[in-house]
Structure 1
Amino acid sequence: MKTMKLGSSTLEVPVLAVGCMRINSLDKVEAERFVQTSLEEGLNFFDHADIYGGGKCEEIFSDAIQMNANIREKIILQSKCGIRNGMFDFSKEHILESVNAILKRLKTDYLDILLLHRPDALVEPDEVAAAFDLLETSGKVRHFGVSNQNPTQIQLLKKSVKQPLVANQLQLSITNATMISSGINVNMENNPAVNRDGSVLDYCRLNDITIQPWSPFQYGFFEGVFLGSDKFPDLNEKIDEIAKKYEVSNTTIAIAWLLRHPAHMQPVTGTMNIERLKDCCKASDIYLTREEWYGIYRAAGNVLP
């Protein structure tokens, strides 16, 4: 498994992160096998959030990996906080309480990365900064980032937060590629030209913030998987054609499409299917040509000016 630096940090991470949002769908034996397979494939970066399964997912993971000091030093743990009871909360009190609860469920003394999950309209940057300072000095969190935030929101946080923000987890897939399309259709009178995110893709590249695409196989907002879907016949035909050339699955090509982008993104896999996870890993060794990348992009219905 190829590795990369996470954002501006010195942290060396796999080019794929293992998303654990659905690990509560597995029984004990299945969860243990899934985690072990991830490690065998070189995937030692595990992505969590305090709301996944109401916290149960973190507990299931720590039991499945049989967390201890020796294992802890071999893995990279990322979790997210900021969503609670139908609202968003970036208050100092909530961030600190959330991290303490996360650490307890994961049976560890520290997180490698903490992300703020969804933008809080009532955010006070000074409170976030105070929480981050306490978490850093106490050794409970080593690196910080955000999720689903645009450039201006990040800049607002950076007004007070002194720690580098190393990652921004954003929805991105072949069929959910507005952050790419708006850049291609600059100054055009068409829908893809609409800038919905403040040029977050370019902003993250300029500021050494790693984009972590979530739901890399989904279309819409959890409406379904585009692979094999009769809603995307041209896309699937193109992906299958390229998959045949490289002698891999369509899953592999969908991830390879994201990895081909020069932003050096770190896609977050969400599958609990071991064979599909292995297919994701194979994307690390594939470098799509420019023609193949654009061919997939256009087959998904994305237009060029």
Structure 2
Amino acid sequence: MNRPEAGGPAVQPVPGQELIYGCMGLGGSWSPEPYSSAQVDEAAAAVDAALESGITLFDHADIYRGGKSEAVFGEVLARTPGLRERIRLQTKVGIRLNEQGLETYYDLSGDAILARVNESLARLRTNYVDVLMLHRPDPLLDPAEVASAVGQLMAEGKVRALGVSNMSGPQIEVLQDRLGTPVVANQLEMSLSRRAWLESTVLVNHAEGTDYSFPHGTVEHCVRHGITLQAYGSLARGLYTGAPAAAPSAAEEATAALVAQLAAEKKTTGEAVLLGWLMKHPARIAPVIGTANPDRIRACAGAAEVAAGMTRAQWYRLWVTARGSNIP
């Protein structure tokens, strides 16, 4: 189903096996108060660290910090001539927060997609995004309506490719049936800590499989159709690399020790080990790094090298240690 509309522009998929910088941490608090110049400086430092680490794809969403994440990034673009041409941008639409008397609801109607993309472009101070992501599955989504809105945005040059987030293989397939452009990416929570995507592949026909809600076959669908898997939460929120935990489990403590041991053996960082573990998977997972700390961003730079050098036994040892029990 991954075919561009006849006569339409060729769509270049977001390549896998790369690191992505997630901008959710930029822009200050989630409150309505305006962002400060110091927060623009913080965003600029994070962008610089990402570029130094070889990262060129920056991930946004219209809701991050109430739009302030996009806005401070737009400030960085405005004060850095030539930067937009050196990077790729993606943003997400579809989640509405604190509107219509609801804390959260989803809206992937055609009108909402068009309006939200234009608002994001204004905040980002750019004419286009390289990838537009549909943030969460909307039960009221009409695939034909989405296809029409996306087609209009692509015809206007405002969107160059389409991705999704938090969708299963069948959900992507139903959407793809009506689209005139291929879905190029699916962003899911994937890490050594959040392993449902992996556990589902080996717990078929095992009672333990009921403990994991991840829709089996989604990873395989993405691989089959050339859809890049982008992994958010890829650093497990620092669980194995020094973030304070109130009451870490025995498995978590053992995993942190193993990550540190492998980092020392490979003369790299714990962050690179965690990301390398994801990137070792043949699905060519692209981890999304969410930290705003420049030093921690730089600590991720060696992930691809770790993935290339990680043995099968090391990969399995990390998995088994993190799950706290052997695989079937």
TM-score (norm. length: structure 1): 0.91
Paired position in structure 2 for 1:131: 149
What are the within-5 Å matches in structure 2 for residues 210-289 of structure 1?
210-218=228-236, 225-228=239-242, 229=245, 230-231=248-249, 232-286=252-306, 287=308, 288-289=310-311
Q: Is the 8 A contact 1:44 1:74 kept in 2?
A: yes
Paired position in structure 2 for 1:145: 163
Paired position in structure 2 for 1:5: none
Q: Is the 8 A contact 1:50 1:80 kept in 2?
A: yes
Q: Which residue of the other structure, out of 20, 24, 28, is the alignment partner of 1:21?
A: 24
Aligned with 2:86: secondary structure? coil
Q: Is residue 9 of structure 1 aligned with residue 12 of structure 2? A: yes
Q: Is residue 190 of structure 1 aligned with residue 208 of structure 2? A: yes
Paired position in structure 1 for 2:3: none
Paired position in structure 1 for 2:175: 157
**1:192 positional shift:** 6.3
**1:257 positional shift:** 0.6
Equivalents in 1 of 2:17, 2:75: separation in Å? 23
Aligned with 1:141: secondary structure? coil
Equivalents in 1 of 2:202, 2:138: separation in Å? 30
Equivalents in 1 of 2:94, 2:227: separation in Å? 20
C-alpha spacing 1:303/1:203, structure 2 compared with 1 (3 Å): farther
**1:72 positional shift:** 1.6
Q: Is residue 72 of structure 1 aligned with residue 84 of structure 2? A: yes
**1:213 positional shift:** 0.4
Aligned-pair identity in percent equals: 35
CA RMSD of the aligned region, Å? 2.0
What are the within-5 Å matches in structure 2 for residues 31-42 of structure 1?
31-42=43-54
Paired position in structure 2 for 1:53: 65
TM-score (norm. length: structure 2): 0.84
Q: Is the 8 A contact 1:35 1:65 kept in 2?
A: no
Deviation by residue 1:104-139 (Cα, 9 ceiling, x = unmatched): 001011110000001101110011000011011111
**1:194 positional shift:** 5.0
Residue identity matched to 1:109: N
Q: How many residues align?
A: 294
Q: Which residue of the other structure, out of 74, 79, 84, is the alignment partner of 1:62?
A: 74
**1:16 positional shift:** 0.5
Specify every segment of 5 or more residues in structure 1 that has no aligned partner in the other structure, as ranges: 1-7
Equivalents in 2 of 1:208, 1:77: separation in Å? 20
Q: Is the 8 A contact 1:184 1:193 kept in 2?
A: no
Q: Is the 8 A contact 1:36 1:65 kept in 2?
A: no
Q: Is the 8 A contact 1:182 1:193 kept in 2?
A: no
